Amino acid sequence: MVRVALLTKESSNRVYADQAQRLLQAELAAIAPALSSPLTSCSMETFGNVDWVVAELDGLSDEDRFLLSNLSGVRALFDVEEDGRFLPLALERFERFSNDLVTIQRYQGKTNELFTHLMLNLTLAASAPARHRIHRGERARLLDPVAGRGTTLNRGLLYDMDVTGIEVNDVDVDHYRTFLTTWLKDKRMKHQNARERVRKGPAAGSSSFTVSIGDGPTVHIVRGSSEMARTLLPGRRFDLIVGDLPYGVQHKAKAGGAAVRSPREFLEAALTDWHRLLEPGGALGLAWNLHTLPREQVDDAVRSAGFAPVRYPESFEHVVDRSITRDVLVAVR
């Protein structure tokens, strides 16, 4: 039996920090089937006035240590000896670029980068084609259909994925393009930047930009409504789709071009295209505000579109602020 103590990362968001250990515990329980040694227990314990998530496993292989190292909330790992000593375990992060790609951006309404990491981890674990590509040394293909200013796309880049985003807001698209190209220049990374505008057909008026990073991954962003995802991305297929839906408070969902408080109409209109863009066995990961959309309605919508929701042993529901309680759903095509 091996006992491993996981120290959680610090978060600049106090409310998220208060829930970080519980969410880390839920994330660990969710990825447990991928561990080579069975997870026999997972609990929160206090050592030296510090709270830890403590996992007990039948063993700990290098692959298991790699998986634990890349949990969203992990800052450090320790092997807990029988006499109570903590022996540090080397972290093995899977990060193609420096971590400031996901931490340096600051703007109102930005999704906490630790939560974005958690969402991507859950969806990646559920996507068979994504895992198969990575095991073959290929890049997984990620789509964020509500890309905003690129928080999810940047996390995908850290995982060396080819990333694509759809965003209806011109300002957000321009901000992300400026941020990404400036960041690449500051890092002295070779890249190519191309822009395109669609002038004919159903997608007329939409525009896109593509950034190819040396011999690394590619970023593609298209401006338009995600309800037209297949039209905006003709011939494209993806291994996983990850999106943080508009919360219906400061950022309103748009369905049929009209602002609505609940993202339900938008979700129901977009899910069919998202389903067809996913490879068979691919996974969809969504986050949303429970105050504007009950979980049962999200379950019903994804099932009606042909997805099978994944059930987890622990809940990922958590408070963001007084008007937002966020939840996560992962479903497989």
Mean pLDDT (whole number) for 38-50: 89
**Percentage above 90 pLDDT, the chain:** 74
Task: Summarize pLDDT for 227-262 with one digit per residue, the tens.
Answer: 999 999 999 999 999 999 987 533 344 544 455 545
For residue 144, the surrounding DSSP H or E stretch is strand 141-144
**SS3 readout for 184-251:** HHHCCCCEEEEEEECCCCCCCCCEEEEEEECCCCEEEEEECCHHHHHHHCCCCCEEEEEEECCCCCCC
Tens-digit pLDDT profile for residues 256-284 = 445 554 578 889 999 999 999 999 999 99
> Taking residues 283-299, what's their average pLDDT?
94
Hey, what are 248's tokens?
């219906």
Q: Residue 242's pLDDT is what? A: 98
The pLDDT of residue 249 is: 38
Identify any residues that bridge with 287 across adjacent strands, giving them in sequence order: 244, 328
- Measured in Å, how far apart are the chain's first and last C-alpha atoms? 37
Q: CATH class for domain 100-332?
A: alpha beta
What span, in angstroms and rounded, lies between the C-alpha atoms of 175 and 328? 27
Question: Could you give the count of Cα atoms lying within 13 Å of 82 in the half-sphere of its Cβ?
Answer: 1
In the chain, CATH 3.30.70 covers 2-89
Q: If you average pLDDT over residues 36-51, what whole number do you get?
A: 89
pLDDT tens-digit series, residues 98-117: 999 998 887 776 778 899 99
pLDDT for 280 = 97
Instruction: Please list the residue range(s) of the chain that carry CATH number 3.40.50.150.
Output: 100-332
Residue 226 Cα to chain centre, angstroms: 18
CATH architecture of 2-89: 2-Layer Sandwich (3.30)
> What is the rounded distance in angstroms from the CA atom of residue 328 to the CA atom of residue 289?
9
Residue 2 has pLDDT above 70, yes or no: yes
